[in-house]
Structure 1
Amino acid sequence: MELIKDTIVTVVVGLFFVLTIYINLNTLYYVILGFFGFGKAKRDYEITEDKTRFLILVAAHNEEKVIASTIENLRQIDYNPELFDVYIVNDNSIDRTGAICEEMGQKYVDTSKKLFEREGVGKPAGLQYALRELGFEKLVDKYDCLMILDADNHVDPTILKELNSQYVAKGEPEAIQAYLDSKNSATNLSLGYAVSYYLVNRFFQLAKYRLGLINSIGGTGFIVKMSYLMKHGGFRFKSLTEDIELEMEIVKDNGRVLWNHFVRVYDEKPDNFKVSIKQRTRWSQGHWYVAFTNFKPMVKLFFKEKRKIKILDQLLYLFGMARAVQLTLTLAGIVIIYGYGFVTNRLHDFSTTGNQLIDMIFGVSFLSLFMFIYQFGVLMFYAIKMDTKQKYSFLRMTWATLFYAYTYIYAQLVGLLKWRQQHTWVKTEHNKTAVDHNRETA
């Protein structure tokens, strides 16, 4: 009986050891990657004359609270008006979204007319419908790039000038993601979102761009080459995270996704906890779907092609899990294993192999803890000071970031359990009509 117990404990310890090693290697990779996020961001392209033709689609479902301010903001874009068009995708709204577009003289697509069969669910299905109505394959002759925005987004006036210049200078890449900023951060929850984005923007996105790795598409504020999109059937995606799915398709085609650190899209972050959990569960659900369905193709590419670092980087991104999830699993292993030992008073009685694994887990877990503290402390301070006008507050921002990160654990786990279910799109409510981090603006 004792031998059986020792064997079970050793196996459990071994599993935690493998998990701990993976988490620490993953964390170490992102710490090393983060080194390339330091320093002043500098353009590697010149601002050139307006040339690229853009179609801007704004996804909107029951957005009467914010759509007018978004339209007004988009009308401030400083770019040759003959080279871009803006359409609101009024996706089965039952409020005044369409009426507001008409009152403001704004061009829009009304999916409730049902001129085409709906392909997929939620936002990507609405965007696909709009592409169908506007001409689909013929759009390639009229536009070079498609920009996707959400109905709550505000953008910098220079957004098209910057993206045009980078697109031309970099040989017309398949996609470019603009800096994702926050409209609001007055509550701990929305501040947690904002700080997390600031960290990702500099020490993930900018760092990867500097290294020539594939950047991530963030769901809004990105452009995609129209010819590439049409070649692949438009927005015919199967997951709840069409952005990651599009990114993986580009990676598999040996395409490029670039990052622009100099122009921003301001996105409203949830202040309501229940709404936030639903949003992040949808994100996690879609992320895991894309991860599992792309694992085999990506592994095959890893062994088949020479760009192994880029493929490995994408695999780490797909299976990285949230930072809080990783740290919690590591610490949980320590508590469970050592808890067993102290409770039974047999911490060093079972196999030598088990004891050695425990000691290694304990050591690497402290290394992981140190790296997490470094990320939440040093990197957070640097990103906020370099890239934002926000007043740095260590205690409040740390608490907000940890609150955001640790409440992500539930969403990650639920998303993992429901990863096959990609049929229900949960809308995030929007009501902020201005970029304001000091008070709530409705």
Structure 2
Amino acid sequence: MNDIGEVIVTIVLGLFFLLTVYVSLNTLYYVILTFFGFGSAKRDYTIMEDQTRFLILVAAHNEEKVIGSTIDNLKNINYRNDLYDIYVVNDNSTDRTGDICREKGMKFINTGDKLFPREGVGKPAGLQYALRYLGFEKLADQYDCLMILDADNHVDPDILIELNSQYIAKGKPEAIQTYLDSKNSANSLSLGYAMSYYITNRFFQLAKYRIGLPNAIGGTGFIVRVDYLMKHGGFRFHSLTEDLELEMEIVKDNGRVLWNHFVRVYDEKPENFKISIKQRTRWSQGHWYVAFTNFKPMVKKLFTEKGKLKILDQMIYLFGMARAVQMSIVVIGILAAIMYGLATQDTQVLSTAGERFIFLIFGASAVSLLLFTYQLFICMYYAIKVDTNHKFKFVRMSLSVFYYAYTFIYAQVMGLLKWKQQHTWVKTEHNKTARENP
């Protein structure tokens, strides 16, 4: 190899080494987090008398297949009736969603009446319309917290009891996210979704809550303080992931997003590959938009204000690639190092610097692979065993997680390429009216 070729290869290896180091540090950070996810989940608050006033909004667009069962489920909520109201946000539906609400005696808001101009797209625009309809500026006088649910969601009966108690005991934080469970896990795709959520719930959400880091808002099953939301313009967000955008706004305001491990919201996971890819591409588009638009203010905050660990944690979360992407980088690094070793047993191909990079890439990748293995198998087994009633099936569950993770790569890439396009909301179809988990 000539001198120019050696220089080019060395530079490429050096850049790949930096990428490998980033993956290794990212993986190490999340592995350290998992250590705080083990052990029994114990309430750090006492159950209190019903006091908090809740407004529950159920986002629904053409949900005639599931809205009836959701309404029936919500009628089982165990809380003082005068302290909460539920409205279905019937967002431009062309099916019987509104009729079903009427038949079941559920209050609903029909955005098709067009009493207010539409602000934004998709779900957040429908929610914003509902806030306008209900009085907007006056809502903080009527309610303490707003809960957001999707039309397919079922909830535990004591969800408001737990949230009321935690909200009061923890000094009225800006937001609380509840445990996100699954209605269904019949095929490999929906099972992969469910397994991913179970691992995240315990080894990301619960772990972060225990050490005081901001939790992630998951799009449904969360409450946000009404006065805070109204102060910031309601659900007038710019991205396709209003949940992540809201989370970042709270963190930048030095607010708190907490986690509740004791009540659950059950939602339907996609079983159709095409529908799933559309959903995850939307997630990725919105995620990258929030990441790029928040980079400068988060960096500024990192160097000028207190709470640096919380800001750094959020930046790692914003710019962390999908786990499957990171795993692929690790595998490529190991294979490249092995192939180089086999091909150059008797010849000198690279410069000394290039050989060092190969050695370092192999070492960092091998460590990362070991950490990935721990996260996948040890953490998955523990989360399923402790937090669910699933029977642990090693092969099927592992393959499902890999299937879910590696099909996420396409969505991540497409989301990155289209991150500026935040004007088209893709609806996820729902049809499950009952929990189908084993």
Residue in 2 aligned with 1:65?
Answer: 65
**Whole-Å Cα distance in 1 between the matches of residues 289 and 344 of structure 2?**
41
Q: Per-residue displacement from partner, 1:163-221 (whole Å, max 9, x unpaired)?
A: 00000000000000000000001111101000100000000000000000000000000
8 Å CA contact 1:341, 1:347 repeated in 2: no
> What is the RMSD of the two structures over their aligned residues, measured on CA atoms?
1.3
* Structural mapping, 1:417-432, within 5 Å: 417-432=417-432
Instruction: Give the letter for the 2:210 counterpart.
Output: R
Q: Could you state the TM-score of these two structures normalised by the residue count of structure 2?
A: 0.98
Residue in 2 aligned with 1:18?
Answer: 18
**Whole-Å Cα distance in 2 between the matches of residues 238 and 346 of structure 1?**
58
C-alpha distance 4-42 of structure 1, shift in aligned 2 (>3 A):
same
Q: Per-residue displacement from partner, 1:21-69 (whole Å, max 9, x unpaired)?
A: 0000000000001000000000000000000000000000000000000
Query: Which consecutive residues of structure 2, in runs of 5 or more, have no partner in the other structure?
Result: none
Instruction: Give the letter for the 1:328 counterpart.
Output: S
8 Å CA contact 1:298, 1:311 repeated in 2: yes
Instruction: Give the letter for the 2:194 counterpart.
Output: A
Residue in 2 aligned with 1:86?
Answer: 86
Offset, 1:341: 7.3
**Whole-Å Cα distance in 2 between the matches of residues 276 and 99 of structure 1?**
28
Structure 1 residue 202 corresponds to structure 2 residue 202: yes
C-alpha distance 347-424 of structure 1, shift in aligned 2 (>3 A):
farther
**Whole-Å Cα distance in 1 between the matches of residues 303 and 347 of structure 2?**
43
**Whole-Å Cα distance in 2 between the matches of residues 38 and 341 of structure 1?**
40
Instruction: Give the letter for the 1:404 counterpart.
Output: Y
8 Å CA contact 1:178, 1:260 repeated in 2: yes
SS at match of 1:369: helix
More deviation, 318-327/201-210 = 318-327
* Identical pairs, percent: 72
SS at match of 2:422: coil
* Structural mapping, 1:286-365, within 5 Å: 286-336=286-336, 339=339, 348-365=348-365
Offset, 1:333: 3.8
SS at match of 2:321: coil
SS at match of 1:234: coil
8 Å CA contact 1:56, 1:84 repeated in 2: yes
8 Å CA contact 1:348, 1:355 repeated in 2: no
8 Å CA contact 2:333, 2:365 repeated in 1: no
Instruction: Give the letter for the 1:263 counterpart.
Output: V
Residue in 2 aligned with 1:406?
Answer: 406
**Whole-Å Cα distance in 2 between the matches of residues 353 and 98 of structure 1?**
68
Residue in 2 aligned with 1:39?
Answer: 39
Offset, 1:156: 0.1
Residue in 1 aligned with 2:131?
Answer: 131
SS at match of 2:86: strand
Structure 1 residue 279 corresponds to structure 2 residue 279: yes
SS at match of 1:325: helix
**Whole-Å Cα distance in 2 between the matches of residues 346 and 84 of structure 1?**
76
Offset, 1:259: 0.1
8 Å CA contact 1:338, 1:347 repeated in 2: no
Q: Could you state the TM-score of these two structures normalised by the residue count of structure 1?
A: 0.97
**Whole-Å Cα distance in 2 between the matches of residues 117 and 39 of structure 1?**
50
**Whole-Å Cα distance in 1 between the matches of residues 297 and 347 of structure 2?**
44
Residue in 1 aligned with 2:53?
Answer: 53
SS at match of 1:427: coil
8 Å CA contact 2:61, 2:91 repeated in 1: yes
C-alpha distance 100-34 of structure 1, shift in aligned 2 (>3 A):
same
* Structural mapping, 1:186-201, within 5 Å: 186-201=186-201
More deviation, 337-346/374-383 = 337-346
Residue in 2 aligned with 1:104?
Answer: 104
Instruction: Give the letter for the 1:310 counterpart.
Output: K
Instruction: Give the letter for the 1:148 counterpart.
Output: I
**Whole-Å Cα distance in 2 between the matches of residues 399 and 331 of structure 1?**
17
More deviation, 338-347/395-404 = 338-347
SS at match of 1:407: helix
Instruction: Give the letter for the 1:260 counterpart.
Output: N
Residue in 2 aligned with 1:171?
Answer: 171
**Whole-Å Cα distance in 1 between the matches of residues 119 and 332 of structure 2?**
43
**Whole-Å Cα distance in 1 between the matches of residues 265 and 201 of structure 2?**
12
Offset, 1:338: 5.6
Q: Per-residue displacement from partner, 1:370-416 (whole Å, max 9, x unpaired)?
A: 01110111000000011001111111110111110111111011101
C-alpha distance 112-346 of structure 1, shift in aligned 2 (>3 A):
farther
Offset, 1:351: 1.2
Instruction: Give the letter for the 1:121 counterpart.
Output: V
C-alpha distance 332-39 of structure 1, shift in aligned 2 (>3 A):
same
Residue in 2 aligned with 1:372?
Answer: 372
**Whole-Å Cα distance in 2 between the matches of residues 329 and 90 of structure 1?**
44
Offset, 1:349: 2.1
More deviation, 289-298/344-353 = 344-353
8 Å CA contact 1:340, 1:347 repeated in 2: no
Count of residue correspondences: 438
Structure 1 residue 392 corresponds to structure 2 residue 392: yes
8 Å CA contact 1:195, 1:380 repeated in 2: yes
C-alpha distance 344-367 of structure 1, shift in aligned 2 (>3 A):
closer
8 Å CA contact 2:92, 2:112 repeated in 1: yes
Q: Per-residue displacement from partner, 1:412-442 (whole Å, max 9, x unpaired)?
A: 111011111101100000000001114xxxx
**Whole-Å Cα distance in 1 between the matches of residues 299 and 239 of structure 2?**
20
Residue in 1 aligned with 2:237?
Answer: 237
**Whole-Å Cα distance in 1 between the matches of residues 273 and 347 of structure 2?**
41
C-alpha distance 346-184 of structure 1, shift in aligned 2 (>3 A):
farther
**Whole-Å Cα distance in 2 between the matches of residues 418 and 344 of structure 1?**
42
8 Å CA contact 2:334, 2:366 repeated in 1: no
Offset, 1:346: 8.8
Instruction: Give the letter for the 2:310 counterpart.
Output: K
Query: Which consecutive residues of structure 1, in runs of 5 or more, have no partner in the other structure?
Result: none
Structure 1 residue 381 corresponds to structure 2 residue 381: yes
Instruction: Give the letter for the 1:214 counterpart.
Output: P
Q: Per-residue displacement from partner, 1:125-168 (whole Å, max 9, x unpaired)?
A: 00000000010011010000000000000000000000000000
